[in-house]
Structure formats: structure tokens, C-alpha cells
Amino acid sequence: MSALSFDTVIYNKHAAHAEIRFNRPHRLNAVVEQFYRELIAALRQAEADPEVRAVLLTGEGRAFCVGADLKEHAAGERTPYQRRQYLQLGNDACETIFRLNKPVVAAVNGYALGAGAEMACSCDFVLMAEGAQLGFPEVSIGTFVGGGVTRFLPRLVGLPKARELMFLGERINGTEAARIGLVTRAVADEALQEEAQAFIAKLSTKAPISMALAKKLLNTSDESTIDAQLTRELDGLFMCTTTEDWKEGVAAFAEKRSPNFKGC
């Protein structure tokens, strides 16, 4: 497939994963309309590529993403309709991350504020530098969160802590974020990218169809009853047994070797 070219994100394909690097370092990767459109396109490109098993999101320069580029927004004029369309793009970006049929890993460097924190919460895994800072400043400046945060955050940290993070808008570092369960793990600042590459390389060896099913059922588990979930799991298990990857997994286990999954 032909790769698309972007200005506000950098798309690199590695052995079995894609890396999407936010590329507005002069504005600490603050989001604008073009950024959202290109991020969604890059995610779709990774999803459509059968060789890509997982996606890594990180930021170029000193930040993951500091939220909306208020300077650029102030410089332009939007109609109410255009403003609504821009805000919808932010939701669309987070929803694309959440619903992508491949696991998405965030490597949070520097600052993840507002929209940056929202995108991180939409990912399946978040590795965060110990010295990085994450926060939801929206209520403190008279605006509001988006991207599904009011659903994701209580699931991650519990309702009382979610209220505290949103109402007070205080920033927390990677160590605290890991302690409260907001991120998967905190790592030394200088080791973040290396740890992220190792993590996603390991993730990329797993069975793609099984991972896609696990992601979908985990992410939607609170929308169904236990009876419905048991049925969905049974259907997923049966479907996996019809794949070549299931045969490969069984053979690899019997032969005491690592499996080589093909995603079919």
C-alpha cells in the first residue's frame, strides 16, 4: 500500500508496528484541525496495513501534547458550525484510537494536558516518563473535556479520583499516574522511548485476531450483561479456532517454540 505523507504527524513503519509521532514541537504539539485530520488518517493507514500489529503514539520534542493551540484559535474566526466541527474532530481522534482494531500504546513524554491527556486515556496502554506531567485543566479555564474522558477516567482511577483530577485540574507526574492506575507504568525519563519500543515489540508478537477481539470485548464490557459477554466470548473463541493462527499457536505450543502469527 502507498504511504500517505503528513505535516503535523510523522508516520514510521517498523518491523511489525507503526509509530505516529506528533510533529508540532514549536507549539509543544498543541492540536489544530489539521493535526486531528492527519492523526486520524495515519491511524487508518496503520489499521489497513496487515503488517502492522500495533501502533505507538508519542510526541516530537519536549511534549506529548499540551492540548488546544489557543494562539492559533484566537487568530482565526470560526462560525458556530465550524467550531462544532473542529470539536467533533477531537472526539473523532480519540474514538479512532479507542476503536482501532489494533492495540495503541502511548509513550507520554513531557506534557500531556487537555487534548493530550484525552488521547492518552483513549489508548490501550500508556507508558509515561516519571517526570512527565498529565492533567485536565479544562474546568479551570472555563471549558470542558472531550474524547470520552468522563467515561474513561472513572474506569481507570475510580469516580472520586476522577472528580479530583477534573475539578481541580492539577497536574500529576508519571509516578503518581502509575500509582493511581491512570497509566500502565512509569519509566525513567531517559528510558521512555527504549521501554516503549521494547513493550510494543513484545505486543506485536501476539495473535492479531485474538488481540482485536480482546480489545473490543474489554473496551465494551460495561455495555453488556454477563450473559451477553459470555456469549460474545464463546463466539470469539470459536472464531479463533477457525483461523490459521490458532493452528500455529497449538503447533508452536506442542513444539515448544515461539509462534509466528500471520493474522489469518
* pLDDT score at 76: 65
Rounded to 5 degrees, what are φ and ψ at 154? -60, -30
Residue 2 has pLDDT above 70, yes or no: no
Residue with cell 513503519: 13
What is the average per-residue pLDDT within 46-67? 97
Tally of domains in the chain: 2
Give me the CATH number covering residue 117: 3.90.226.10
User: Among 19, 38, 130, 138, which one carries the catalytic annotation?
Assistant: 138
What is the average per-residue pLDDT within 102-106? 98
Q: Same domain, yes or no, for 53 and 179?
A: yes
Domain that holds residue 74: 9-203
Work out whether the CA dihedral 111, 114, 118, 119 comes out positive or negative.
Answer: negative
Q: Same domain, yes or no, for 151 and 224?
A: no
Q: Same domain, yes or no, for 33 and 127?
A: yes
Q: 123 burial class (0-12, 13-18, 19+ CB within 10 angstroms)?
A: buried
* pTM score, whole prediction: 0.94
* pLDDT score at 152: 96
Residue ending a domain, among 203, 218, 235, is 203
* pLDDT score at 56: 98
What is the average per-residue pLDDT within 204-208? 97
Q: Same domain, yes or no, for 44 and 144?
A: yes
pLDDT tens digits, one per residue of 248-260: 999 999 999 999 9
pLDDT tens digits, one per residue of 131-166: 999 999 999 999 999 999 999 999 999 999 999 999
Q: Same domain, yes or no, for 47 and 89?
A: yes
User: Among 19, 33, 38, 118, which one carries the catalytic annotation?
Assistant: 118
Q: Same domain, yes or no, for 50 and 160?
A: yes
Q: Same domain, yes or no, for 137 and 236?
A: no
164 is catalytic: no
170 is catalytic: no
SS3 of 249, please? Answer: helix
Q: Same domain, yes or no, for 157 and 33?
A: yes
Residue 208 has pLDDT above 70, yes or no: yes
pLDDT tens digits, one per residue of 73-94: 666 677 888 889 999 999 999 9
What is the average per-residue pLDDT within 15-42? 97
* pLDDT score at 4: 75
Rounded to 5 degrees, what are φ and ψ at 243? -95, 160
Residue ending a domain, among 168, 187, 203, is 203
- CA nearest neighbour of 56 among 241, 195, 178: 195
Give me the CATH number covering residue 221: 1.10.12
